[in-house]
Structure 1
Amino acid sequence: MLPTSDVAPPPAGLRLIAIGASAGGVEALGTVLRALPATCRATVVVVLHLAPGRSSQLPQLYAARCALPLREAQDKEPLQGGTVYFAPPDYHLQIEPDGCFSLSQEEPVYFSRPSIDVLLETAAYAYRRAMLAIILTGASADGAAGLARVRQLGGSAWVQDPQRASCGIMPAAALKLAGADRVLDLPQMAASLALLGDGEHK
């Protein structure tokens, strides 16, 4: 039986929360980002599959619904705590060991660039036990291998309940390959993230 929970705080010592979403993700992300308190000190990084060639308006879309500052990640930019970053369209977003972003235009993964797998795998090496990876609704297996790497290197993994997701293919693939520390619906996930605050680094 996969682990489920109602409301429990995220793991202690978090420095990074990495979120991946695809089909149905715009709405799901709205629920998740709205739950983050202004006292959240962890960095939040989001990969949402977008069509190439389109400019991203995600920071503007969510600005009124999120208490944290939002921006599109830039190449070589150092990650800042208490900030939400979005992967820019048509670039893979990576996190380097020195705590900076890097962008690449290597081949798409599961027909997607940015790739959730690329973000999670690089973040796992940079943050290890200090990260939480979240897989939301989507229509491919992107994110499953990355989630497995996160767990292998000591990070925590939450997955949206596939039966309650707009598109359950992505969370189901993640659970099949990597498993999860918690399987949550969106209200449960939001309630748990709302417990983030000044104790994250303790």
Structure 2
Amino acid sequence: MLLGALGPELSVPVLLVQHLDPRHRTVIAEVLGRRTPLPVKLAEHDERALPGTVYIAPPDRHLLVGADGVLTLSSSARVHFVRPSADLLFESVAGAYGHRAIACVLTGTGRDGAMGVDAVKSRGGTVIAQDPRTAEFSGMPEAAVGTGAVDFVLPLEEIAAIIRGLVEGKRQ
């Protein structure tokens, strides 16, 4: 699993959007927390994103990050029929971190994330997409690759090593 392969010494926060049904209690933080040494939690409004922690957008809330690393949750309109939106998260990450931003689009249906990867790339960040041929649902990675903004198209098991290398290289 990608999160587990990032390693316990990860020096940046991980912000994650999963399209969850808000009508059901979510246990994603607990499930993912069993598969990684990193702390995993649902993001909270106005909390500072800490290195080595995984923050998951709560169901039906957009997750954004500011230049100061403070997280914001929003109930603003759905983007491409979804809330939370990877596009909005990626756009905020691009604005907050510029050339140090890393966006990763994994399996999923629809086009969410495609606009956001353009924002990351336009500010000098790095974009990774899961190889659509290896994704359970290829829509999101295919849409991201179709933008021309993707730097790496990789099978899931190769992504963590690239992220670790990028993080170490982008820290300065």
TM over 0.5, yes or no?
A: yes
| One-letter amino acid of the structure 2 residue matched with residue 64 of structure 1 | R
State the match for 2:145 in structure 1: 175
Gaps in structure 2 of 5+ consecutive residues:
none
RCO higher in structure (CA 8 A, sep ≥6): 1
Contact 1:40/1:198 (CA < 8 Å) preserved in 2?
A: no
Q: Does 1:49 align with 2:49?
A: no
Q: After the TM superposition, which of the residue ranges 91-100 and 129-138 deviates more from structure 2?
A: 91-100
Q: How far apart, CA to CA, are the structure 2 residues paired with 1:63 and 1:94?
A: 21
| One-letter amino acid of the structure 2 residue matched with residue 38 of structure 1 | P
Q: Equivalent residues in 2 for 1:68-83 (5 A)?
A: 68-83=38-53
Q: How far apart, CA to CA, are the structure 2 residues paired with 1:198 and 1:172?
A: 28
State the match for 1:107 in structure 2: 77
Contact 1:93/1:118 (CA < 8 Å) preserved in 2?
A: yes
**TM value normalised by structure 1:** 0.80
State the match for 2:35 in structure 1: 65
Q: How far apart, CA to CA, are the structure 1 residues paired with 2:124 and 2:159?
A: 20
Residue number among 133, 142, 152 corresponding to 1:163 in the alignment: 133
Residue number among 123, 137, 140 corresponding to 2:110 in the alignment: 140
SS in 1 for 2:147: helix
State the match for 1:16 in structure 2: none
Contact 1:39/1:197 (CA < 8 Å) preserved in 2?
A: no
Contact 1:144/1:178 (CA < 8 Å) preserved in 2?
A: no
Q: How far apart, CA to CA, are the structure 2 residues paired with 1:199 and 1:109?
A: 32
Q: How far apart, CA to CA, are the structure 2 residues paired with 1:152 and 1:112?
A: 24
Cα deviations by residue, 1:145-196 (Å, 9 ceiling, x for unpaired): 0000000011100001111111111111111124311110012113434657
Gaps in structure 1 of 5+ consecutive residues:
1-30
Q: How far apart, CA to CA, are the structure 1 residues paired with 2:164 and 2:97?
A: 22
Aligned length: 172
State the match for 1:117 in structure 2: 87
State the match for 1:36 in structure 2: 6
**Percent identity of the aligned residues?**
38
